[in-house]
Structure 1
Amino acid sequence: MIVSRKKKLYFLGLLAGIFLISLFLFFWSAPDIGAGFNYAVVVRSSDGDDLAEFYKERRFFVPHQTIPLSVKQAFLAAEDQRFYSHHGFDLRGILRAFRKNIAANAVVEGGSTITQQLAKMIIKNPERTFSRKFREMIIASQLEWKYSKDEILGAYLNLAYFGERVYGIEAAAKTYFNKSVTDLNISETAMLAGLLKAPSSYSPLKNPALARERMKTVLDEMLALHFISYDEYNKALAGPLPEKATFQRKYNAPYFIDFLKLQLSAKYGEDLYQQGFQVLSTIDASMQSLAERVVRDGVRQIELRTKPGVQAALVAIDITTGDIKAMVGGTDYATSQFNRATMALRQPGSAFKPFVYAAAFRKGMSYNDSILDERISIQETDTGRWWSPRNSEEKYFGEVPLKTAFAHSLNSATVRLAQKIGFDSVRDMARQCGITTKLTTHPSIALGSFEVTLFELTASYSVIATGRKMVPRAYTVLKDKNGKVVESPVSSYKEVLSADIVDKMRVLLRATIESGIAGRARAVNRIVYGKTGTTNDYSDAWFVGFDDRLALGVWVGRDDHTSLGIEETGSEAALPIWTEFMKHVKY
């Protein structure tokens, strides 16, 4: 008898335990109030200024602790005055709505609390049915169990739709009043709170009379609840309504932002938007502004000499960190979003020659060693045809030092040097420095006959400048919407060139400026280094070089690969843009 009773008590205790555990799991299984929603990604320049935003939904996360009390009170007055008293759903409101719905034989009023409205956002089902309403109440109960009232109210204000394709209180404040939520006054707050009932109907941009009437209703409730004084009430009533959407999306450094977006999307997928990342980029705002100006002005000058349709690109990379400091992918982003800095494959011409000479130095040669500069013909191994490169203006100088051959960009001497050390050595040197596009060992490799991007060529010159190969870096800190650091990429490098080779290459790249074809660069009031590049028919013009801080590359050409114009060489078309940047850049 006693044993049977103990078994019964044990069984009942077990059932009670299972029930309590199930109840706990039920309530604790409430959905994450922030999951599944998209936020704007905010990108800042290296000095912390806002650079750009991009998004799928215009929503900026604001921690509930930073939302002003007056803002919270306005929404409580408008949407759920008993929010801090109920436990997810308000029986009074439900009964009132039930009576109206029965009388109308349809769902005409929801009687939803703020918690239920948040549940509805999470469900993402706009249907007004009793089954959906019941599910909404279940989720609301779970939310109330798992989260604090302040967390629920904060999530609601961050997720709510305010019309004009605007989501969340911060984006609404920016769109309607061109300010942050922390700067809203009572009148503005009441107007925004009034929007939620019907964002289109009560829009001040579409129906100002209805918007003002709704704003007054909210202010009346705030006064009745003693949230505001009579003086504040009267002042708020006279507050002006917005007449237009004032918030314009920032999208500075647009080609770089597109490049960064592709990089982040490849790494984080949909988390990029759902985490609402805050990105501290490597872009220097003043350098970016200078880069855009010199490209624009330089192209204008070229078109005055030739004809319209000229494009240009510029990339600046910090040679000590690999940070991308400026990027311009074209003359007008609004007209063409194609990024010619990172996506356009063009022949580099003589701008590739540094890899030939660096490979020769690795073989033990010096810039004082001689090479023959005479006509040369090389039989192609695959076709049997003869390939015969020519010097500019068909001038040849016989035996010349490597320094002279490089400074005057002598094609025949450079090809003969590449043949002497092996075309495979040239290919290997280019790859080690960072050229990733397909390279062959055809003799024309010495003259840059294949295609590269300006971005990879500029990054490769940073290797020549320091001997160290680094992966170019677009951002230094990545935080989620809550401010938690997700990633902080650290610069790392690999030694590719010896200090001896770097020193010899600097002698050559300086000789091009001091005594060669890039004399215009002497206008820069410090020591700079670089090399021109020009392709057949003047279809591509390059200048790539560096000082002790930056590697800078400039390309000029036409998208259809037609000629820029007679004598529009690297020295004439690209170098002036490069020089203007280097003259005016501030460190």
Structure 2
Amino acid sequence: MRIKGYIIKHKKKSILVGILLIFYAFCLPKQLFVKPTSTVITSTKGHLLGALIAEDGQWRFPHNDSVPDKFKTCLIQFEDEHFYKHPGFNPVSIFKAIQQNINAGRVVRGGSTITQQVIRLSRNDRPRTYLEKCKELILATRLELRASKEKILAYWSSNAPFGGNVVGLDAASWRFFNRSSADLSWAEAATLAVLPNAPKLIYPGKNQQKLLAKRNRLLKKLLHKNVIDSLTYNLSILEELPQKPFALPQIAPHLLQKINKEKKGEFVKTTINKRLQNQTNTIVKNHYNQLSKNGINNIAVLVLDVNTREVLSYVGNAPTTKKNQKDVDIIDKPRSTGSILKPFLYAAMLDAGELLPNTLVADVPTNYGSYQPENFDKKYAGAISAKKALSKSLNVPTVRLLQKFGLEKFHDYLQKLQLRDIKKNPNYYGLTLALGGAESNLWDLCKSYASLASTVNHYTETSSFYFDNEFLNPTFYKGETIDFGKKSNQKIVFDAASIYLTFESLKEVNRPNADENWEFFDAAKEIAWKTGTSFGFRDAWSIGVTRDYVVGVWVGNADGEGRPGLVGIQTAAPILFDVFDKLPNSSWFEKPFDEMTQVEICSKSGYRATKICEETKLSYIQNTGLKTEPCPFHININIDRSSTYQVNTSCESLENIQQKSWFVLPPLQEYYYKKQNPFYKPLPKFREDCLGEVKNVMKFLYPTEKSTIFLPKDFDGKQNELILKVAHSNKEAILFWSLNQQFLGTTTENHELAITPKEGDFKITVVDNFGNEIQQQISIKE
């Protein structure tokens, strides 16, 4: 009642007081410090990986609420002993300062508390007039009411000037001592505590004696107050002062730039494993030193944790020169894929039930119009298991499988993998889609391989469930929630068995600089891996996956220049295995039995066995594999008792005829297959005294399809020859050749014929001495 009566009686005074109180309540800005800060990234354990200077050219780390105890003690003892007792200003200190300054006729001592210094720093160090001091005093008391003492210390530590363009304790610790503020010694903490007192006068490398005297006086004060013991004091005063600023760590510079685009001026804890990052940097540097001698200047490496989908190591480029674009982050840049997409085709065909791992596929000369795919070594196996074709990265079987599977279907699978750079329609890429006709980037490819591995892991760990968000993006932000989605009975892209069988095939890829029996060494890690080389030797890839990790490597030139020897197996694969050597061993994937069925497989053809398959074995295949056709390569034939000739009842009695199962390949496949498989037995001939049609089969080796053939001229202007080739099942056959009904000649045994046709359209006709005929249409262009 008395207060109310006083207010009524003294309205003007009360209004004035109210205004002053309102002004006091709102006099302090909500955000004290608004200057730009550096973007800072740390490892998963908080170790500094790198920082970018703030926009105003200052090394000013983002505000840190944590102040190390050593520095806190040194700061309070040097600047404000009664910090925890005063309300924002210290009347005794102010009085002593005024008295000494009057006596000296100049400013020789300041009476500001740490709180007042925080206010002055927030007001951009305005001129030190008495009016300004009064403002600081008022604002300091208001700050004391709003913030805790620890918060005020954190404000000071994050914004105090330490000389030059270094602001704040965290930046100063790294610039002057090359370590975190939490790791400072007593001498180092004391040095930084006295430095902001006169940052323009006392600077590391200059005025060493003044700085040393200030530091040692503070250390002696700590000794007298029993903060440190005599041994610590004696060792501390022997420590040298910093001579010049250190460069801040740049352990993951490309990741720093990437994060800076999203979280500029922030302090970001990443998922990076600092030790692994340093090891990967060293590996990349060592390989760059060798590869650069061949004009190969750029390398990128990405390491992912399969289970957490965290980025463990991020090397965006080699330590090359600015001329060779060292600042370009290759990891997210589209590059020609080479063969790195082949495993996705293999998995897709397994998933669709159109292939089994050991099914024989054709590896023979192939033409699709003017497109003629070739294997890297220019050789052909005739017929090879799909599994081995993948592990050997053969191009011809891949293109033939893609043509059989369907370009649109494969393209649809790739879209489900969310490979962002495959943007065109299927016909744009054509049959080169699986050989490097498309582009992708290391990030998306590693993400896809990690998702495949995680699919198998989750399926076996959760009693046969999938997760509907399995193919999510990896993260390099520590603490970011990874949500694999809800459990589902339905596959997301590929079923677990198809992925598992794909990894089993990739595990057999022969490693660089290793013999064929490398997998039998105890030290060998089980890794499913694949290489890729783009057309023109512009891009070399290698991606490996285990149950726990994915490592992806790209090697090449950022400007797209091709170089001899820029091949995945020679340049990227060695880096891949060097990185895997730094990772813990992983157990192999568990077999997803619920998605698999045990069936009898024909040992020779790899198809599901029929009753006439001679040798069979029980194998686990994907459930969808039950849709595949049975073995087409075994037929029953009638032979004589010596197994030398085929016979029939026209030439042999029934009791002397025996029926036998025979493994027979089509002529074109047989022609190449038997060269590498000496135990392959062609069909026996019919005995001469047998009546009936003798099956003599022949087929073009080249050209194999209706195609356009370009015949360039030599340097002397002479047109090159066109070599026509035909395979015949009967070694004794005689072939008669004609071109547009004009006779060319005959061949025996080795059926090859060289011609020099003019430009135009032609029909090649070949007839054997048994009356069999084959034809082929071609177009010749010069």
Question: Which TM-score applies when normalising by structure 1?
Answer: 0.76
Give 2:47's match in structure 1, choosing from 29, 36, 50. Answer: 50
- Equivalents in 2 of 1:233, 1:509: separation in Å? 60
Aligned to 2:349: 360
Name the structure where helix makes up a greater proportion of residues: 1
Q: Give the secondary-structure state (helix, strand or coil) at the position aligned to 1:470.
A: coil
- The amino acid across from 1:316 in the alignment is V
2:272 matched residue in structure 1: 283
Per the alignment, residue 163 of structure 1 pairs with 163
Contact 1:90 1:113 in 2 (8 A): no
What amino acid is the match of 1:321?
T
CA contact (8 A) 1:318 1:324 kept: yes
Match of 1:414 in 2: 398
Contact 1:348 1:452 in 2 (8 A): yes
Asked if 2 retains the 8 angstrom alpha-carbon contact of 1:74 and 1:218, the reply is yes
1:322 offset after TM fit, Å?
1.5
- Contact 1:118-1:156 at 8 Å conserved across structures: yes
SS at match of 1:313: strand
> What value does the CA root-mean-square deviation take over the aligned residues?
4.6
CA contact (8 A) 2:285 2:318 kept: yes
**What letter matches 1:210 in structure 2?**
K
List per-residue Cα deviations over 1:114-158 (Å, max 9, x = no partner): 333211211225455677555434422321332355543453244
Q: Point out the structure with the larger strand share.
A: 2
Cα distance in 2 between the residues matched to 1:352 and 1:581: 22
Matches within 5 A, 1:130-145: 135-145=135-145
Identity %: 24
2:66 aligns with 63
Query: What letter corresponds to residue 199 of structure 2 in structure 1?
Result: P
Tell me how far apart the structure 1 counterparts of residues 582 and 217 of structure 2 sit (CA, whole Å). 58
Verify the 8 A CA contact 2:177 2:242 in the aligned structure 1: no
Amino acid at match of 1:330: N
Asked if the contact 2:50/2:253 (under 8 Å) is kept, the reply is: no
2: CA distance, partners of 1:15 / 1:199: 46
The one-letter amino acid of 1:159's match is N
Aligned partner of 1:117 in structure 2 is: 117
Aligned to 2:494: 497
What residue identity is the alignment partner of 1:451?
E
1:437 Cα shift? 1.0
Pairwise CA distance, 1:164:
3.9
State the shift of 1:378 in Å. Answer: 4.5
Question: Separation in 1 of the partners of 2:379 and 2:555?
Answer: 26
**d(CA) in 1 for partners of 2:377 and 2:83?**
88
Residue number in structure 2 paired with 1:480: none
Deviation for aligned residue 1:72: 3.6
**Structure-1 residue corresponding to 2:653:** none
Q: 1:360 to 1:40 in 2, by over 3 A?
A: same
Using CA pairs under 8 Å that are at least 6 residues apart, name the structure with larger relative contact order, 1 or 2.
Answer: 1
Counterparts of 1:27 and 1:395, CA distance in 2: 85
Distance in 2, matches of 1:183 and 1:466, equals: 39
Following the alignment from structure 2 to structure 1, what is the Cα–Cα distance between the partners of residues 32 and 7? Answer: 43
- The secondary structure found in structure 1 opposite 2:554 is strand
Give 1:323 shift. 2.0
- 1:465 alignment partner, one of 449, 453, 460: 453
CA contact (8 A) 2:68 2:181 kept: no
Aligned equivalents of 2:228 and 2:474: distance in 1? 58
Count of equivalent residues: 546
Give how far 1:365 is off. 0.9
Counterpart of 1:576?
574
CA distance in 1, matches of 2:553, 2:178: 38
Query: Conserved in 1, the CA contact under 8 Å of 2:65 and 2:151?
Result: no
Q: Matches of 1:247 and 1:520 in 2, distance apart? A: 50
Query: For residues 252 and 400 of structure 1, do their structure 2 counterparts lie closer, same or farther at Cα, with a shift above 3 Å needed?
Result: same
Q: State yes or no: 1:30 paired with 2:17.
A: no
Rounded to whole Å, the distance in 2 between the matches of 1:315 and 1:185 is 36
Q: Do the aligned partners of 1:45 and 1:51 also contact (CA within 8 Å) in 2?
A: yes
Give yes or no for the alignment of 1:454 onto 2:453: no
> How has the CA–CA distance of structure 1 residues 348 and 202 changed in structure 2, closer, same or farther, with 3 Å as cutoff?
same
Match of 2:412 in 1: 428
Matched residues in 2 for 1:361 and 1:228: separation? 72
1:332 maps onto 2:319 in alignment: yes
Unaligned runs of 5+ in 2: 456-469, 487-491, 586-782
Classify the secondary structure of the residue corresponding to 1:429.
Answer: helix
What's the CA shift string for 1:332-386, capped at 9, x where partnerless? 167654355414432111111122223323332123455544454556xxxxxx4
Instruction: Give CA deviations for 1:559-586 in whole Å, capped at 9, x if unaligned.
Output: 33333315x4322222233233334533
Between the aligned partners of 1:490 and 1:370, the Cα distance in structure 2 is 41
Specify the SS of the correspondent of 1:504: helix
Partner secondary structure for residue 506 of structure 1: helix
User: For 2:331, what is the secondary structure of its paired residue?
Assistant: coil
What's the CA shift string for 1:440-476, capped at 9, x where partnerless? 3121212121222222212222233343423212133
Aligned equivalents of 1:554, 1:182: Cα separation in 2:
36
Unaligned stretches of 5+ residues in structure 1: 1-5, 380-385, 478-487
Match of 1:538, SS state, is: coil
Which letter does structure 2 place at the counterpart of 1:474? F
